[in-house]
Amino acid sequence: MTIPIISIIKSRAYIYPFKGLIYFFMHPAIWPFYITILIPQLTLTLIIYSVMFATFFPPQAVIYTLLMGPLGVIGAWYNLILQASTLSIFIVIISLMPHIQRVAYDAVLVRECSEDVVLMGKLRRYKKLPIRVRVSEYLKAMSDLSIFPFLLIKLLVFGLIYFIPFVGPIIVLLFQSSRRGVKAHGRYFKLRGFLRSDIREIHKLNRPAYMGYGIVALWLELFPFANMFFMFTNTLGAALWAVDIERNEKATAEKNAIEMQQLTGLLEKRIQLSSNDNHQGAQLVTILSQPPEANQEITKEENTHQENANV
């Protein structure tokens, strides 16, 4: 896999996860939005950690103790925390990510894009939908459960790679970063009404930017116990990124409109000048096409008018 490091750096998309973190602490009005998803996140996380420790800690502690001695218990404990953290992120992405994105994007867009009639209109229309329709859309937004076995295999493969010393986590980050980045804009793509083909094209054209964002976002989400919080702040960062995209597109459209208006005015002036030149040219052609006697008469008349004017 080719890593366009220069393009990633130039994109500056890697700063948006940090922007989301700062935005969360700088805007207390956002905190109630996070509380609405905090309870289901904590409940799901506690269940996963409890099941993992009750089921897998005893055998892993025995194996690690045989390999490392008394320190094996600590190694097994740390290893299990990483495994539980990875599994919790995987399950949350499948089950809660659509809700997390909706809450985070709505919190940012309402504050930052209140003047955007299109996006605000779509947000209001979504909120007015019946609960049955919203639940149906939420279920549709979840990952297709028919591919769950393939996702589980992918998780196991990445889990094995992750535990390779030093280079394992880096490999996992690089392979998952681009896809993680484009998923962060899922809510934005939905509000804009993009098709899957449009999203694939956007992903293809902006792969370095999505890689830069995804690397930092995944790195933050690797911190045990805080990964759910960072998942929310990363989504805030993705929403801020979407706001910047909208503003840049609007500024570009306004600039193009001004340039087009100036170009249109310049063309109208040139057409007017060309029309005047054509009119004068037509008069000259008319004069030249007349016989010499007629031209002499015209010259005499002009001289007579000039003499009368002098008198």
In order along its 311 residues, the chain shows pLDDT tens digits of 555 788 888 889 999 999 999 999 999 988 888 887 788 778 888 888 888 888 888 888 888 888 888 888 888 887 788 777 777 777 777 777 777 777 788 778 878 875 564 455 555 555 554 555 555 554 555 454 444 556 567 667 776 776 665 577 678 778 888 888 998 898 888 888 888 899 999 999 999 999 999 999 988 987 877 877 898 899 999 999 998 998 888 888 888 888 888 888 787 777 777 666 665 555 555 555 555 555 555 455 555 555 555 55
Of 80, 8, 15, 20, residue with least CA distance to 231: 20
Buried b (16+ CB within 10 A) or exposed e, 271-306: eeeeeeeeeeeeeeeeeeeeeeeeeeeeeeeeeeee
3-state SS assignment for residue 115: coil
Tell me the residue ranges of DSSP E strands in 117-258: none
Task: Please name the amino acid found at residue 223.
Answer: F
Here the contacts of 121-124 (C-beta below 8 Å, separation 24 or greater) are 122/191, 123/191
pLDDT given at position 162: 63
CA 252 remoteness from chain centre: 17
CA-based torsion, 196, 193, 7, 97: positive or negative: negative
Cβ contact 107:236 at 8 Å: yes
What are the extents of the domains in the chain? 9-260
* Crossing angle of helices 196-205 and 207-221, rounded to 10°: 90
16-26 and 227-289 helices, crossing angle to 10° = 110
CB of 24 closer than 8 Å to CB of 30: yes
Predicted local distance difference test score (pLDDT) of residue 300 = 52
Give residue 192's region: left, alpha or beta (phi > 0; psi -120 to 50). alpha
C-alpha 20/C-alpha 17 separation (Å) is: 5
Structure tokens at 197: 């083909």
